[in-house]
Structure 1
Protein backbone atom coordinates (compact mmCIF):
# COMPACT_ATOMS: atom_id res chain seq x y z
CA UNK A 1 0.00 0.00 0.00
CA UNK A 2 2.85 2.40 0.86
CA UNK A 3 4.58 1.65 -2.43
CA UNK A 4 1.38 2.36 -4.36
CA UNK A 5 0.90 5.66 -2.52
CA UNK A 6 4.52 6.59 -3.21
CA UNK A 7 4.13 5.99 -6.96
CA UNK A 8 0.86 7.90 -6.92
CA UNK A 9 2.66 10.89 -5.35
CA UNK A 10 5.41 10.73 -7.99
CA UNK A 11 2.87 10.64 -10.81
CA UNK A 12 0.98 13.64 -9.39
CA UNK A 13 4.24 15.61 -9.01
CA UNK A 14 5.32 14.72 -12.55
CA UNK A 15 1.98 15.68 -14.09
CA UNK A 16 1.84 18.88 -12.05
CA UNK A 17 5.36 19.85 -13.14
CA UNK A 18 4.56 19.06 -16.78
CA UNK A 19 1.37 21.13 -16.63
CA UNK A 20 3.21 24.04 -14.98
CA UNK A 21 5.90 24.04 -17.68
CA UNK A 22 3.22 23.93 -20.38
CA UNK A 23 1.48 26.96 -18.90
CA UNK A 24 4.66 28.93 -18.16
CA UNK A 25 6.42 28.27 -21.47
CA UNK A 26 4.63 31.01 -23.48
CA UNK A 27 5.42 33.60 -20.78
CA UNK A 28 9.06 32.53 -20.65
CA UNK A 29 9.22 32.74 -24.45
CA UNK A 30 7.78 36.28 -24.41
CA UNK A 31 10.23 37.37 -21.71
CA UNK A 32 13.28 35.91 -23.47
CA UNK A 33 12.35 37.37 -26.87
CA UNK A 34 11.73 40.81 -25.37
CA UNK A 35 15.53 41.14 -25.05
CA UNK A 36 16.17 40.42 -28.75
CA UNK A 37 16.24 42.57 -31.86
CA UNK A 38 13.50 42.07 -34.43
CA UNK A 39 15.75 40.15 -36.81
CA UNK A 40 16.92 37.81 -34.04
CA UNK A 41 13.33 37.12 -33.01
CA UNK A 42 12.59 35.81 -36.50
CA UNK A 43 15.82 33.81 -36.80
CA UNK A 44 16.13 32.41 -33.23
CA UNK A 45 12.67 32.55 -31.71
CA UNK A 46 13.09 29.52 -29.45
CA UNK A 47 16.64 30.22 -28.27
CA UNK A 48 18.16 32.57 -25.73
CA UNK A 49 19.32 35.96 -27.12
CA UNK A 50 22.83 35.91 -28.57
CA UNK A 51 23.29 39.62 -27.89
CA UNK A 52 20.75 40.64 -25.23
CA UNK A 53 19.51 44.23 -25.34
CA UNK A 54 17.38 46.13 -22.84
CA UNK A 55 16.65 49.01 -25.24
CA UNK A 56 13.25 47.54 -26.11
CA UNK A 57 11.84 48.38 -22.67
CA UNK A 58 12.43 52.16 -22.55
CA UNK A 59 11.26 52.43 -26.17
CA UNK A 60 8.11 50.42 -25.45
CA UNK A 61 7.53 52.45 -22.27
CA UNK A 62 7.65 55.70 -24.23
CA UNK A 63 5.64 54.58 -27.25
CA UNK A 64 2.96 52.99 -25.06
CA UNK A 65 2.54 56.32 -23.24
CA UNK A 66 2.77 53.93 -20.31
CA UNK A 67 1.99 56.33 -17.47
CA UNK A 68 -1.27 57.57 -19.06
CA UNK A 69 -2.33 54.11 -20.26
CA UNK A 70 -1.46 52.54 -16.91
CA UNK A 71 -3.45 55.22 -15.07
CA UNK A 72 -6.49 54.62 -17.29
CA UNK A 73 -6.30 50.84 -16.80
CA UNK A 74 -5.76 51.20 -13.06
CA UNK A 75 -8.66 53.64 -12.63
CA UNK A 76 -11.10 51.50 -14.59
CA UNK A 77 -10.01 48.27 -12.90
CA UNK A 78 -9.96 49.57 -9.31
CA UNK A 79 -13.29 51.42 -9.49
CA UNK A 80 -14.94 48.45 -11.25
CA UNK A 81 -13.62 45.98 -8.65
CA UNK A 82 -14.73 48.11 -5.67
CA UNK A 83 -18.26 48.46 -7.05
CA UNK A 84 -18.44 44.78 -8.08
CA UNK A 85 -17.48 43.64 -4.57
CA UNK A 86 -19.83 46.14 -2.93
CA UNK A 87 -22.95 45.35 -4.96
CA UNK A 88 -22.54 41.62 -5.58
CA UNK A 89 -21.69 40.75 -1.98
CA UNK A 90 -24.84 42.51 -0.75
CA UNK A 91 -26.93 40.96 -3.51
CA UNK A 92 -25.67 37.48 -2.66
CA UNK A 93 -26.37 38.12 1.03
CA UNK A 94 -29.96 39.11 0.30
CA UNK A 95 -30.48 36.08 -1.96
CA UNK A 96 -29.04 33.66 0.59
CA UNK A 97 -30.91 35.02 3.62
CA UNK A 98 -34.38 35.68 2.22
CA UNK A 99 -35.82 32.25 1.47
CA UNK A 100 -38.37 33.00 -1.20
CA UNK A 101 -39.08 31.52 -4.62
CA UNK A 102 -38.08 34.78 -6.27
CA UNK A 103 -34.66 34.62 -4.54
CA UNK A 104 -33.97 31.17 -5.98
CA UNK A 105 -35.20 32.30 -9.39
CA UNK A 106 -32.89 35.34 -9.42
CA UNK A 107 -29.95 33.19 -8.30
CA UNK A 108 -30.48 30.70 -11.12
CA UNK A 109 -30.87 33.57 -13.60
CA UNK A 110 -27.48 34.86 -12.44
CA UNK A 111 -25.98 31.43 -13.07
CA UNK A 112 -27.60 31.18 -16.48
CA UNK A 113 -26.33 34.58 -17.63
CA UNK A 114 -22.74 33.35 -17.25
CA UNK A 115 -23.41 31.23 -20.35
CA UNK A 116 -24.30 34.25 -22.51
CA UNK A 117 -21.25 35.43 -24.51
CA UNK A 118 -20.54 39.14 -24.68
CA UNK A 119 -20.39 39.02 -28.48
CA UNK A 120 -24.10 38.18 -28.65
CA UNK A 121 -25.12 41.44 -26.92
CA UNK A 122 -22.19 43.59 -28.03
CA UNK A 123 -23.80 45.58 -30.85
CA UNK A 124 -27.14 46.47 -29.18
CA UNK A 125 -25.41 47.25 -25.88
CA UNK A 126 -22.89 49.65 -27.42
CA UNK A 127 -25.68 51.25 -29.44
CA UNK A 128 -27.78 51.76 -26.28
CA UNK A 129 -24.88 53.27 -24.32
CA UNK A 130 -24.09 55.54 -27.26
CA UNK A 131 -27.63 56.96 -27.21
CA UNK A 132 -27.29 57.95 -23.55
CA UNK A 133 -23.73 59.37 -24.01
CA UNK A 134 -22.03 56.67 -21.95
CA UNK A 135 -19.33 55.62 -24.39
CA UNK A 136 -16.67 56.67 -21.91
CA UNK A 137 -14.92 55.38 -18.80
CA UNK A 138 -18.10 55.63 -16.74
CA UNK A 139 -19.97 53.50 -19.26
CA UNK A 140 -17.12 50.98 -19.36
CA UNK A 141 -17.18 50.66 -15.57
CA UNK A 142 -20.96 50.09 -15.63
CA UNK A 143 -20.53 47.38 -18.29
CA UNK A 144 -17.74 45.74 -16.26
CA UNK A 145 -20.03 45.58 -13.25
CA UNK A 146 -22.83 44.04 -15.30
CA UNK A 147 -20.68 41.40 -16.98
CA UNK A 148 -18.90 40.45 -13.74
CA UNK A 149 -21.90 40.32 -11.42
CA UNK A 150 -23.13 36.80 -12.22
CA UNK A 151 -19.90 34.99 -11.39
CA UNK A 152 -19.28 37.15 -8.32
CA UNK A 153 -22.77 36.57 -6.93
CA UNK A 154 -22.37 32.85 -7.60
CA UNK A 155 -19.14 32.73 -5.54
CA UNK A 156 -20.48 34.88 -2.70
CA UNK A 157 -23.75 32.95 -2.55
CA UNK A 158 -21.96 29.63 -2.05
CA UNK A 159 -19.76 31.09 0.68
CA UNK A 160 -22.72 32.67 2.47
CA UNK A 161 -24.57 29.35 2.53
CA UNK A 162 -21.77 28.03 4.75
CA UNK A 163 -22.20 30.86 7.31
CA UNK A 164 -24.93 29.99 9.86
CA UNK A 165 -27.96 32.27 10.08
CA UNK A 166 -27.57 32.07 13.87
CA UNK A 167 -24.92 34.78 13.59
CA UNK A 168 -27.45 37.13 12.01
CA UNK A 169 -30.01 36.32 14.69
CA UNK A 170 -27.50 36.94 17.48
CA UNK A 171 -26.59 40.33 15.98
CA UNK A 172 -30.29 41.26 15.68
CA UNK A 173 -30.77 40.47 19.38
CA UNK A 174 -27.86 42.84 20.10
CA UNK A 175 -29.73 45.57 18.23
CA UNK A 176 -27.86 45.61 14.92
CA UNK A 177 -29.68 46.42 11.69
CA UNK A 178 -29.20 44.54 8.41
CA UNK A 179 -26.41 46.78 7.13
CA UNK A 180 -24.49 46.51 10.40
CA UNK A 181 -24.94 42.74 10.41
CA UNK A 182 -23.57 42.43 6.91
CA UNK A 183 -20.65 44.85 7.07
CA UNK A 184 -19.53 44.18 10.66
CA UNK A 185 -20.29 40.48 11.06
CA UNK A 186 -20.73 38.70 7.73
CA UNK A 187 -18.51 40.55 5.26
CA UNK A 188 -15.28 40.10 7.29
CA UNK A 189 -15.90 36.34 7.17
CA UNK A 190 -15.97 36.47 3.36
CA UNK A 191 -12.34 37.60 3.05
CA UNK A 192 -11.14 34.62 1.00
CA UNK A 193 -14.09 34.80 -1.37
CA UNK A 194 -13.66 38.56 -1.73
CA UNK A 195 -9.99 38.13 -2.64
CA UNK A 196 -10.96 35.50 -5.23
CA UNK A 197 -13.57 37.83 -6.72
CA UNK A 198 -10.97 40.61 -6.86
CA UNK A 199 -8.31 38.45 -8.56
CA UNK A 200 -10.61 36.86 -11.15
CA UNK A 201 -12.28 40.12 -12.12
CA UNK A 202 -9.07 42.16 -12.02
CA UNK A 203 -7.37 39.79 -14.47
CA UNK A 204 -10.37 39.92 -16.80
CA UNK A 205 -10.84 43.69 -16.70
CA UNK A 206 -7.13 44.58 -16.83
CA UNK A 207 -6.47 42.37 -19.87
CA UNK A 208 -9.71 43.12 -21.72
CA UNK A 209 -9.30 44.52 -25.22
CA UNK A 210 -12.64 44.06 -26.99
CA UNK A 211 -14.94 45.98 -24.63
CA UNK A 212 -12.63 49.01 -24.15
CA UNK A 213 -12.02 49.12 -27.91
CA UNK A 214 -15.75 49.71 -28.39
CA UNK A 215 -16.31 52.09 -25.49
CA UNK A 216 -13.17 54.17 -24.75
CA UNK A 217 -11.36 54.11 -28.09
CA UNK A 218 -10.47 57.81 -27.87
CA UNK A 219 -7.27 59.79 -27.30
CA UNK A 220 -6.40 60.11 -23.63
CA UNK A 221 -8.66 57.20 -22.63
CA UNK A 222 -6.69 54.24 -24.00
CA UNK A 223 -6.02 51.37 -21.64
CA UNK A 224 -2.80 49.33 -21.87
CA UNK A 225 -4.30 46.57 -24.07
CA UNK A 226 -5.65 49.23 -26.45
CA UNK A 227 -2.35 51.08 -26.56
CA UNK A 228 -0.57 47.79 -27.36
CA UNK A 229 -2.28 47.82 -30.74
CA UNK A 230 0.07 50.65 -31.69
CA UNK A 231 2.85 48.10 -32.32
CA UNK A 232 0.80 46.12 -34.84
CA UNK A 233 0.77 48.14 -38.06
CA UNK A 234 -0.86 47.40 -41.40
CA UNK A 235 2.37 46.38 -43.09
CA UNK A 236 4.75 45.56 -40.25
CA UNK A 237 4.73 44.53 -36.60
CA UNK A 238 7.27 45.80 -34.09
CA UNK A 239 7.59 42.47 -32.33
CA UNK A 240 10.55 43.46 -30.16
CA UNK A 241 8.57 46.40 -28.73
CA UNK A 242 5.30 44.48 -28.58
CA UNK A 243 6.86 41.72 -26.46
CA UNK A 244 8.52 44.23 -24.14
CA UNK A 245 5.19 46.07 -23.89
CA UNK A 246 3.41 42.83 -22.99
CA UNK A 247 5.80 42.29 -20.11
CA UNK A 248 5.24 45.85 -18.88
CA UNK A 249 1.48 45.35 -19.15
CA UNK A 250 1.26 42.07 -17.25
CA UNK A 251 3.70 42.92 -14.42
CA UNK A 252 1.07 44.76 -12.27
CA UNK A 253 -1.47 41.94 -12.44
CA UNK A 254 1.23 39.34 -11.70
CA UNK A 255 2.27 41.30 -8.61
CA UNK A 256 -1.36 41.44 -7.45
CA UNK A 257 -1.72 37.70 -8.01
CA UNK A 258 1.49 36.89 -6.09
CA UNK A 259 0.32 38.85 -3.05
CA UNK A 260 -3.19 37.39 -3.01
CA UNK A 261 -2.81 33.92 -4.55
CA UNK A 262 -2.83 32.09 -1.20
CA UNK A 263 -6.51 33.02 -0.80
CA UNK A 264 -7.68 31.93 -4.25
CA UNK A 265 -8.13 28.18 -3.74
CA UNK A 266 -9.77 28.76 -0.36
CA UNK A 267 -12.12 31.35 -1.83
CA UNK A 268 -13.15 29.22 -4.80
CA UNK A 269 -13.78 26.28 -2.46
CA UNK A 270 -15.99 28.44 -0.25
CA UNK A 271 -17.87 29.66 -3.30
CA UNK A 272 -18.50 26.11 -4.46
CA UNK A 273 -20.37 25.11 -1.30
CA UNK A 274 -23.94 24.11 -2.16
Structure 2
Protein backbone atom coordinates (compact mmCIF):
# COMPACT_ATOMS: atom_id res chain seq x y z
CA UNK A 1 0.00 0.00 0.00
CA UNK A 2 2.83 2.40 0.86
CA UNK A 3 4.57 1.66 -2.43
CA UNK A 4 1.35 2.31 -4.36
CA UNK A 5 0.79 5.60 -2.53
CA UNK A 6 4.36 6.65 -3.18
CA UNK A 7 4.08 5.70 -6.83
CA UNK A 8 0.79 7.55 -7.38
CA UNK A 9 2.19 10.60 -5.62
CA UNK A 10 5.19 10.90 -7.89
CA UNK A 11 3.11 9.96 -10.93
CA UNK A 12 0.84 12.91 -10.19
CA UNK A 13 3.85 15.21 -9.81
CA UNK A 14 5.23 14.05 -13.16
CA UNK A 15 1.88 14.72 -14.85
CA UNK A 16 1.79 18.25 -13.44
CA UNK A 17 5.39 18.92 -14.53
CA UNK A 18 4.60 17.55 -18.01
CA UNK A 19 1.58 19.85 -18.35
CA UNK A 20 3.68 22.83 -17.25
CA UNK A 21 6.34 21.91 -19.81
CA UNK A 22 3.71 21.77 -22.56
CA UNK A 23 2.38 25.13 -21.41
CA UNK A 24 5.81 26.74 -21.68
CA UNK A 25 6.50 25.09 -25.05
CA UNK A 26 3.19 26.27 -26.55
CA UNK A 27 4.60 29.67 -27.70
CA UNK A 28 7.37 27.89 -29.62
CA UNK A 29 4.74 25.79 -31.40
CA UNK A 30 2.74 28.86 -32.44
CA UNK A 31 5.84 30.67 -33.72
CA UNK A 32 7.17 27.69 -35.68
CA UNK A 33 3.82 26.55 -37.10
CA UNK A 34 2.65 30.00 -38.16
CA UNK A 35 6.00 30.88 -39.75
CA UNK A 36 5.11 28.55 -42.65
CA UNK A 37 1.67 30.05 -43.24
CA UNK A 38 0.62 32.85 -45.53
CA UNK A 39 -0.85 35.98 -43.98
CA UNK A 40 -4.46 34.97 -44.73
CA UNK A 41 -4.03 31.43 -43.40
CA UNK A 42 -2.28 32.77 -40.31
CA UNK A 43 -5.26 34.96 -39.43
CA UNK A 44 -7.90 32.33 -40.17
CA UNK A 45 -6.25 29.33 -38.48
CA UNK A 46 -3.68 30.44 -35.93
CA UNK A 47 -3.55 27.27 -33.81
CA UNK A 48 -3.62 24.69 -36.61
CA UNK A 49 -0.75 23.10 -38.46
CA UNK A 50 0.27 24.66 -41.78
CA UNK A 51 -1.29 23.10 -44.87
CA UNK A 52 2.14 22.93 -46.49
CA UNK A 53 5.73 23.83 -45.63
CA UNK A 54 5.96 27.11 -47.53
CA UNK A 55 9.46 28.58 -47.23
CA UNK A 56 8.58 31.82 -48.99
CA UNK A 57 8.20 33.66 -45.66
CA UNK A 58 11.80 32.83 -44.79
CA UNK A 59 13.05 33.89 -48.22
CA UNK A 60 11.21 37.21 -48.08
CA UNK A 61 12.26 37.89 -44.48
CA UNK A 62 15.88 37.13 -45.40
CA UNK A 63 15.76 39.78 -48.14
CA UNK A 64 13.51 42.41 -46.53
CA UNK A 65 15.44 42.51 -43.25
CA UNK A 66 18.87 42.08 -44.86
CA UNK A 67 19.20 39.21 -42.41
CA UNK A 68 22.91 38.44 -43.05
CA UNK A 69 23.81 42.00 -41.99
CA UNK A 70 21.63 41.82 -38.86
CA UNK A 71 23.09 38.39 -38.01
CA UNK A 72 26.63 39.73 -38.43
CA UNK A 73 25.92 42.67 -36.11
CA UNK A 74 24.38 40.41 -33.46
CA UNK A 75 27.33 38.03 -33.65
CA UNK A 76 29.92 40.81 -33.41
CA UNK A 77 28.21 42.38 -30.41
CA UNK A 78 27.67 39.08 -28.59
CA UNK A 79 31.12 37.57 -29.21
CA UNK A 80 33.21 40.63 -28.37
CA UNK A 81 31.03 41.56 -25.39
CA UNK A 82 31.51 38.03 -24.04
CA UNK A 83 35.29 38.33 -24.45
CA UNK A 84 35.40 41.67 -22.64
CA UNK A 85 33.14 40.45 -19.82
CA UNK A 86 35.21 37.29 -19.31
CA UNK A 87 38.54 39.13 -19.15
CA UNK A 88 37.34 41.95 -16.90
CA UNK A 89 35.15 39.88 -14.60
CA UNK A 90 37.53 36.97 -14.06
CA UNK A 91 40.48 39.25 -13.24
CA UNK A 92 38.35 41.46 -11.00
CA UNK A 93 36.92 38.49 -9.11
CA UNK A 94 40.41 37.03 -8.63
CA UNK A 95 41.70 40.31 -7.24
CA UNK A 96 38.75 40.75 -4.91
CA UNK A 97 39.05 37.21 -3.57
CA UNK A 98 42.81 36.76 -3.26
CA UNK A 99 43.54 40.27 -1.95
CA UNK A 100 40.84 40.97 0.66
CA UNK A 101 41.83 44.53 1.47
CA UNK A 102 39.37 46.94 3.05
CA UNK A 103 38.54 48.48 -0.33
CA UNK A 104 38.05 45.09 -1.98
CA UNK A 105 35.77 43.94 0.84
CA UNK A 106 33.70 47.03 0.17
CA UNK A 107 33.69 46.70 -3.62
CA UNK A 108 32.31 43.16 -3.79
CA UNK A 109 29.03 43.97 -1.98
CA UNK A 110 28.68 46.97 -4.30
CA UNK A 111 28.97 44.69 -7.33
CA UNK A 112 26.35 42.37 -5.83
CA UNK A 113 24.06 45.32 -5.09
CA UNK A 114 24.40 46.52 -8.68
CA UNK A 115 22.78 43.26 -9.85
CA UNK A 116 19.39 44.31 -8.43
CA UNK A 117 19.33 47.75 -10.08
CA UNK A 118 16.88 47.59 -13.03
CA UNK A 119 18.15 48.73 -16.39
CA UNK A 120 15.26 51.16 -16.73
CA UNK A 121 16.69 53.12 -13.81
CA UNK A 122 20.00 53.75 -15.55
CA UNK A 123 19.12 53.84 -19.24
CA UNK A 124 18.63 57.63 -19.47
CA UNK A 125 21.93 58.45 -17.68
CA UNK A 126 23.60 55.76 -19.81
CA UNK A 127 22.46 57.42 -23.04
CA UNK A 128 23.60 60.82 -21.79
CA UNK A 129 27.03 59.47 -20.87
CA UNK A 130 27.23 57.61 -24.19
CA UNK A 131 26.45 60.79 -26.07
CA UNK A 132 29.09 62.65 -24.07
CA UNK A 133 31.68 59.94 -24.85
CA UNK A 134 30.59 59.76 -28.52
CA UNK A 135 29.96 56.01 -28.38
CA UNK A 136 26.38 56.08 -29.68
CA UNK A 137 25.69 54.47 -33.06
CA UNK A 138 28.78 52.30 -32.90
CA UNK A 139 29.42 48.60 -32.31
CA UNK A 140 32.34 49.27 -29.89
CA UNK A 141 30.07 51.61 -27.93
CA UNK A 142 27.39 49.02 -27.28
CA UNK A 143 30.07 46.41 -26.49
CA UNK A 144 31.39 48.76 -23.81
CA UNK A 145 27.87 49.17 -22.41
CA UNK A 146 27.26 45.42 -22.30
CA UNK A 147 30.61 44.89 -20.59
CA UNK A 148 29.71 47.32 -17.82
CA UNK A 149 26.17 46.02 -17.40
CA UNK A 150 27.17 42.35 -17.37
CA UNK A 151 30.28 42.61 -15.20
CA UNK A 152 28.51 42.55 -11.81
CA UNK A 153 26.74 39.23 -12.32
CA UNK A 154 29.83 37.64 -13.87
CA UNK A 155 32.07 38.79 -11.01
CA UNK A 156 29.60 37.28 -8.56
CA UNK A 157 29.71 33.92 -10.37
CA UNK A 158 33.51 33.88 -10.74
CA UNK A 159 34.00 34.94 -7.12
CA UNK A 160 31.97 32.00 -5.83
CA UNK A 161 33.64 29.50 -8.15
CA UNK A 162 37.20 30.61 -7.34
CA UNK A 163 36.69 29.67 -3.72
CA UNK A 164 36.86 26.03 -4.82
CA UNK A 165 40.39 26.47 -6.24
CA UNK A 166 43.04 25.45 -3.67
CA UNK A 167 45.38 28.28 -2.73
CA UNK A 168 48.25 25.77 -2.55
CA UNK A 169 48.25 25.53 -6.37
CA UNK A 170 49.02 29.22 -6.66
CA UNK A 171 51.62 29.07 -3.88
CA UNK A 172 53.43 26.31 -5.77
CA UNK A 173 53.47 28.48 -8.90
CA UNK A 174 54.98 31.34 -6.88
CA UNK A 175 57.72 29.02 -5.64
CA UNK A 176 58.47 28.15 -9.28
CA UNK A 177 58.99 31.85 -10.06
CA UNK A 178 55.68 32.61 -11.79
CA UNK A 179 54.58 36.26 -11.75
CA UNK A 180 51.03 37.32 -10.72
CA UNK A 181 49.76 37.54 -14.31
CA UNK A 182 51.26 34.16 -15.12
CA UNK A 183 49.61 32.63 -12.06
CA UNK A 184 46.22 33.86 -13.16
CA UNK A 185 46.36 33.13 -16.89
CA UNK A 186 48.39 29.89 -16.74
CA UNK A 187 47.13 28.35 -13.49
CA UNK A 188 43.84 29.86 -12.35
CA UNK A 189 42.03 30.77 -15.56
CA UNK A 190 42.20 27.25 -17.12
CA UNK A 191 40.56 25.92 -13.94
CA UNK A 192 37.68 28.37 -14.45
CA UNK A 193 36.51 26.66 -17.65
CA UNK A 194 33.13 25.44 -16.28
CA UNK A 195 32.26 28.88 -14.94
CA UNK A 196 33.60 30.62 -18.05
CA UNK A 197 31.28 28.54 -20.22
CA UNK A 198 28.42 29.34 -17.85
CA UNK A 199 29.11 33.07 -18.08
CA UNK A 200 29.35 32.90 -21.88
CA UNK A 201 26.02 31.11 -22.24
CA UNK A 202 24.08 33.22 -19.75
CA UNK A 203 25.43 36.51 -21.05
CA UNK A 204 24.98 35.45 -24.68
CA UNK A 205 21.33 34.58 -24.08
CA UNK A 206 20.78 38.03 -22.58
CA UNK A 207 22.66 40.02 -25.22
CA UNK A 208 21.35 38.08 -28.23
CA UNK A 209 17.72 38.58 -27.18
CA UNK A 210 18.10 42.11 -25.82
CA UNK A 211 16.03 44.78 -27.52
CA UNK A 212 16.04 47.89 -25.33
CA UNK A 213 19.78 48.67 -25.19
CA UNK A 214 20.36 48.28 -28.97
CA UNK A 215 17.27 50.42 -29.54
CA UNK A 216 18.83 53.20 -27.43
CA UNK A 217 22.41 52.91 -28.69
CA UNK A 218 22.15 51.73 -32.31
CA UNK A 219 19.89 53.99 -34.33
CA UNK A 220 21.48 53.62 -37.77
CA UNK A 221 19.81 50.99 -40.01
CA UNK A 222 23.14 49.40 -40.96
CA UNK A 223 23.87 48.68 -37.28
CA UNK A 224 20.59 46.94 -36.47
CA UNK A 225 20.65 43.62 -34.63
CA UNK A 226 18.23 40.79 -35.35
CA UNK A 227 15.80 42.06 -32.72
CA UNK A 228 15.77 45.60 -34.12
CA UNK A 229 15.42 44.36 -37.68
CA UNK A 230 12.45 42.18 -36.72
CA UNK A 231 10.82 45.10 -34.96
CA UNK A 232 10.86 47.06 -38.22
CA UNK A 233 8.12 44.72 -39.51
CA UNK A 234 5.67 46.24 -37.03
CA UNK A 235 4.55 49.70 -38.09
CA UNK A 236 1.71 51.99 -37.05
CA UNK A 237 -0.63 50.76 -39.80
CA UNK A 238 0.88 47.45 -40.88
CA UNK A 239 2.05 44.39 -38.97
CA UNK A 240 3.72 41.73 -41.12
CA UNK A 241 3.25 38.75 -38.84
CA UNK A 242 4.09 36.19 -41.52
CA UNK A 243 7.57 37.65 -42.08
CA UNK A 244 8.10 38.48 -38.41
CA UNK A 245 7.48 34.89 -37.26
CA UNK A 246 9.90 33.56 -39.87
CA UNK A 247 12.49 36.12 -38.75
CA UNK A 248 11.96 35.09 -35.11
CA UNK A 249 12.63 31.45 -35.96
CA UNK A 250 15.82 32.37 -37.82
CA UNK A 251 16.92 34.48 -34.86
CA UNK A 252 16.14 31.78 -32.29
CA UNK A 253 17.89 28.87 -34.00
CA UNK A 254 21.56 29.99 -33.55
CA UNK A 255 21.30 30.86 -29.86
CA UNK A 256 19.14 27.81 -29.12
CA UNK A 257 21.67 25.47 -30.72
CA UNK A 258 24.46 27.22 -28.83
CA UNK A 259 22.64 26.79 -25.50
CA UNK A 260 21.78 23.11 -26.09
CA UNK A 261 25.41 22.37 -26.98
CA UNK A 262 26.75 23.90 -23.76
CA UNK A 263 23.94 23.34 -21.24
CA UNK A 264 25.87 20.54 -19.48
CA UNK A 265 28.70 22.95 -18.66
CA UNK A 266 26.21 25.57 -17.47
CA UNK A 267 24.71 23.21 -14.90
CA UNK A 268 28.17 22.07 -13.81
CA UNK A 269 29.44 25.64 -13.39
CA UNK A 270 26.43 26.92 -11.45
CA UNK A 271 26.41 23.85 -9.15
CA UNK A 272 30.13 24.11 -8.39
CA UNK A 273 29.94 27.82 -7.74
CA UNK A 274 26.95 27.40 -5.44
CA UNK A 275 28.18 24.65 -3.12
CA UNK A 276 31.92 25.18 -2.89
CA UNK A 277 33.43 27.75 -0.53
Contact 1:228 1:242 in 2 (8 A): yes
User: Which residue in 2 is equivalent to 1:202?
Assistant: 204
Distance in 2, Cα, partners of 1:171 & 1:5: 54
- Structure 2 equivalent of residue 124 of structure 1: 125
Distance in 1, matches of 2:104 and 2:9, equals 45
How much does 1:17 deviate?
Answer: 2.5
Distance 1:107 1:201 in 2: 20
User: Could you say which residue in structure 1 is the equivalent of 2:170?
Assistant: 168
CA-to-partner distance for each residue in 1:130-175, whole Å, 9 max, x for gaps?
1221102111001000110011001000000111211111111111
Closer, same or farther: CA 159–71 of 1 in aligned 2, 3 Å: same
Task: Give the Å deviation of 1:14.
Answer: 3.0
Query: How many Å separate the matches in 2 of 1:2 and 1:236?
Result: 60
Q: Equivalent of 1:229, from 209, 221, 231? A: 231
Task: Mark the CA change 1:195 to 1:7 in structure 2 (over 3 Å): closer, same or farther.
Answer: farther
The yes-or-no answer on 1:46 pairing with 2:9 is no
Gaps of 5+ in 1: none
Pick closer, same or farther for the CA change 1:105–1:244 going to 2, 3 Å. same
Is 1:269 matched with 2:258?
no
Counterpart Cα distance in 2 of 1:47 and 1:254 = 24
Note if 1:104 corresponds to 2:110: no
Residues 176-215 of structure 1 mapped to structure 2, 5 A cutoff: 176-215=178-217
CA shift digits 1:5-58 (9 cap, x unpaired): 545553453343233222221112100010111122122111112344221010
Q: Secondary structure at the match of 1:99?
A: coil
Alignment of 1:83 onto 2:84:
yes
Matched, 1:245 2:244: no
Q: Distance in 1 between matches of 2:171 and 2:17?
A: 45
Number of residue equivalences: 274
1:220 is paired with a residue whose SS is: helix
What SS is found at the alignment partner of 2:192? helix
Hey, what does 2:14 align to over in structure 1?
A: 13
Q: Measure the CA separation in 2 of the matches of 1:40 and 1:259.
A: 35
TM-score, reference length from structure 1: 0.95
Provide the TM-score with structure 2 as the length reference: 0.94
**1:219 CA drift (Å):** 2.5
For the structure 1 residues 7 and 174, does the alpha-carbon distance in structure 2 shift closer, same or farther, using more than 3 Å as the test? Answer: farther
Cα 1:3–1:237 change in 2 (3 A) is same
Give distance in 2, aligned partners of 1:12 and 1:257.
Answer: 27
CA distance in 1, matches of 2:122, 2:69: 30
- Whether the 8 Å contact between 1:154 and 1:271 is mirrored in structure 2 is no
